[in-house]
Structure 1
Amino acid sequence: MKEIAKQTGVSISSVSLVLNNRDMGRIKPEIAGRIRAAAKEMGYQPNRIASSMRTNKTRILGFISDEIATTPFAGRLILGAQDAARMFGYTLLTVNTNGDKELELKEIETLQQYGVDGFLYARMFNQPTSVPEVLRKDPLVLVDATDELANLPSVVPDEIRIGKDVTERLIQAGCKRIAYIGLNDSIAAQTGRFKGYRDTLAKHHIAYDERLVINPAIGAEAFAATETLMKTHHPDGFFCFNDARAWSVYQSAAWHGLEVGKDISVIGVDNHQVLAETLSPHLTTVELPHYEMGCWGTRKLISLLEDFDVDEVAPPQTNAELPRLDALRAKVECTLIEKESVVGNVGA
């Protein structure tokens, strides 16, 4: 490092920050580039094992999930975490437990043996969760979940805002009888989206009609319930809890000779990479912020580990704005992806 400092005309501490990937927000990019170029030219390779022994830090983060690594959206969540970690010189180790608590404890023990500096704990869907006690002694952030004791930092989608944005868009499209096709469960996503739906109807002085609300199981039950709803109460707009439930609306519309995007408006949630683009016309949908949650959770965790303001370092480009890192229970606003299933939007 002395040789690099001498060749580049900077201090040894500046060289140390750059070579340990801790220069973001501290060293000017052009100076950091000069230091890295000199290190490469001189064949410098950092010894991570020796560094961790000296600093008692491995610059490794543990990412633990239950079922999330087996879902279509897991890749975006992990990618967001990896991109954020890489910006600060951290590496991510990911394990999936499949909901097996005994396996989870073994995986946590293994990660702790590797000396990880902190943990990201992700759950399937936005839900309150009981974090294993063995994790609470380490820096920890929950992703797509909240702590039942309400004292751990966490990040989830803004579910109420989803309900408001979708209902607002349907009203904007001229819908007067907006149906809500929800979930037969009381998870936070269901209660939040339904509240946003009702609040927005009230804001626009549209009377709430419980006959326009169904909460069927997925599959045949959803189609049958949607078919009855459409036949009996004639909604002109449909707010679907997820893109899979929008499929039932498309099926029922075809059965009744109605054209989605012309006769009725339909909006889903998920921006499912298969469903949203396979349905015809393409489905207008809300993109859940998996990348953003992974990114924010990692930045929040690093802010607990480092002694500088991580917020001063710009995050990777995201579709939705990230909350500030001083939030304890952060909520990410979701992006409405306009396609062709809303009246007036065909050909968008």
Structure 2
Amino acid sequence: MTDVAQAAGVSQSTVSMVLNQMSGARLSAATRSRVLEVAAALGYRLPRPAAPVTAAAAAAQPARQVIGYLVDEISTSPHPVVSVDGARDAAWEQGCLLQVAVTRNHAGHEAALIAAFLAQPGLLGIVYSTIFTRAVVVPEALRSVPLVLLNCHDASSTAPSVVPGEVAGGHAATERLIAAGHQRIGFINGEPWMEAAQDRFKGYRRALATADLPFDAALVRDGDWMSGTGFDATLSLMATPRPPTAIFCANDLMALGALEALKQLGKRVPEEVALVGYDDQEIARHTHPPLTTMVLPNYEMGRAAVETLLTQAQRPPGTPTARRTLLKIDCPLVERETVERRAG
């Protein structure tokens, strides 16, 4: 699905809506046609149009088991919605229904939702998810059912955790700029207290060390994930005595601000300054030039969480509890036009 989205120039959510034949989605006929053509060309097996299901026929079908999906927030960022898409698709393919509930980090609300989930006789297990990667304390009530943590982790729990491979992603983004011949690479980070920012910064430093390039703190700026910070930080970096020839931004919105700042300074991208973002948000396809970036694999994470949960649920009763596992999902590079192509 990531490949289809990249080739069609749309988001993973759009691909999901088209391939799952969601007629209510407000997508143009041209967009639907383009996604289907690309999917077919890439060998994606397209589902046959489903016949309408009557109420009587639905009642006669075997009951699907329910997978509970708890998330602390879903409305303030596009990322958790894409994870829900992946989880829902994986659940449906395995004969299950995904039931989503948002806690808004309210302890009482969360406890009531967990109790409601656990009261369902058809409950198979629960995916416990957070909007940004962080440590959590698993509620005691969840330890009695199959459980997978999504985008979070708990060292005291044996529940598997599915998280993005952020260190490797930061490394890959920086490595791409190094491969293009850059040695002075600026880094505009998000809020440094967040795990995503810490890990992307760690990957940046590791890539420099692997290439025997010195780390220069003067080339690093902390931000807040917003475009205004990217703009201001870029102006600051380019005003230094030895400005960078490339900039890695820890998300696409800051990269958008960086691109605008470089235009204001009269710098050509990528000829004079190369630029890489992170997240592969929809806007990354529509900047001028289109932004080279890293995919934050929310869809794949959602799928992996449900697939892992199904594996947990299929273990025979009384099986000894497995050791906690941490599954890191790769963040692939999306080549566009803000970094010059490799020679050859």
TM-score range, shorter chain: 0.7 to 0.9
> Could you say which residue in structure 1 is the equivalent of 2:301?
293
**1:79 corresponds to 2:85:** yes
**1:244 corresponds to 2:253:** yes
Structure 1 residue 327: deviation in Å?
Answer: 7.6
> Could you say which residue in structure 1 is the equivalent of 2:329?
332
Conservation of the 8 A alpha-carbon contact between 1:60 and 1:90: yes
Query: What RMSD, in angstroms, separates the aligned Cα atoms of the two structures?
Result: 2.1
How many residue pairs match? The answer is: 277
> Could you say which residue in structure 2 is the equivalent of 1:199?
206
How far apart, CA to CA, are the structure 2 residues paired with 1:281 and 1:197?
A: 23
Conservation of the 8 A alpha-carbon contact between 1:261 and 1:344: no
> Could you say which residue in structure 2 is the equivalent of 1:267?
276
Identity among equivalent positions (%) equals 33
**1:179 corresponds to 2:186:** yes
Please tell me the residue identity of whatever aligns with 2:85: L
> Could you say which residue in structure 2 is the equivalent of 1:114?
120
Conservation of the 8 A alpha-carbon contact between 2:158 and 2:323: no
Structure 1 residue 184: deviation in Å?
Answer: 2.5
1:263-303 per-position Cα deviation (integer Å, ceiling 9, x unaligned): 11111111011x20232111111111111111111011101
How far apart, CA to CA, are the structure 1 residues paired with 2:230 and 2:293?
A: 18
> Could you say which residue in structure 2 is the equivalent of 1:90?
96
How far apart, CA to CA, are the structure 1 residues paired with 2:329 and 2:323?
A: 14
**1:99 corresponds to 2:114:** no
> Could you say which residue in structure 1 is the equivalent of 2:22?
none
Greater than 6 Å deviation, 4+ residue runs: none
Please tell me the residue identity of whatever aligns with 1:342: V
Please tell me the residue identity of whatever aligns with 1:263: E
How far apart, CA to CA, are the structure 1 residues paired with 2:271 and 2:341?
A: 7
Conservation of the 8 A alpha-carbon contact between 1:183 and 1:215: yes
Structure 1 residue 121: deviation in Å?
Answer: 0.6
Structure 1 residue 174: deviation in Å?
Answer: 1.2
Structure 1 residue 152: deviation in Å?
Answer: 1.8
> Could you say which residue in structure 1 is the equivalent of 2:71?
65
How far apart, CA to CA, are the structure 1 residues paired with 2:61 and 2:227?
A: 55
> Could you say which residue in structure 1 is the equivalent of 2:60?
45
Secondary structure at the counterpart of residue 340 of structure 1? coil
1:192-238 per-position Cα deviation (integer Å, ceiling 9, x unaligned): 11111111111111111110011023354442232111121411111
User: Whose Rg is larger?
Assistant: 1
> Could you say which residue in structure 1 is the equivalent of 2:312?
304
Please tell me the residue identity of whatever aligns with 1:282: P
Give the alignment of 1:119-158 within 5 angstroms.
Answer: 119-158=126-165
Structure 1 residue 343: deviation in Å?
Answer: 2.2
Structure 1 residue 107: deviation in Å?
Answer: 1.4
Q: Gaps spanning 5+ residues in structure 2: where? A: 1-56, 317-321
- The partner residue of 2:196 within 143, 166, 189 is 189
Conservation of the 8 A alpha-carbon contact between 1:161 and 1:196: yes
Going from structure 1 to structure 2, the CA distance change for 1:47 and 1:173 (only over 3 Å counts) comes to closer
Q: Gaps spanning 5+ residues in structure 1: where? A: 1-42, 49-57, 309-324
How far apart, CA to CA, are the structure 1 residues paired with 2:182 and 2:227?
A: 26
Conservation of the 8 A alpha-carbon contact between 2:149 and 2:305: yes
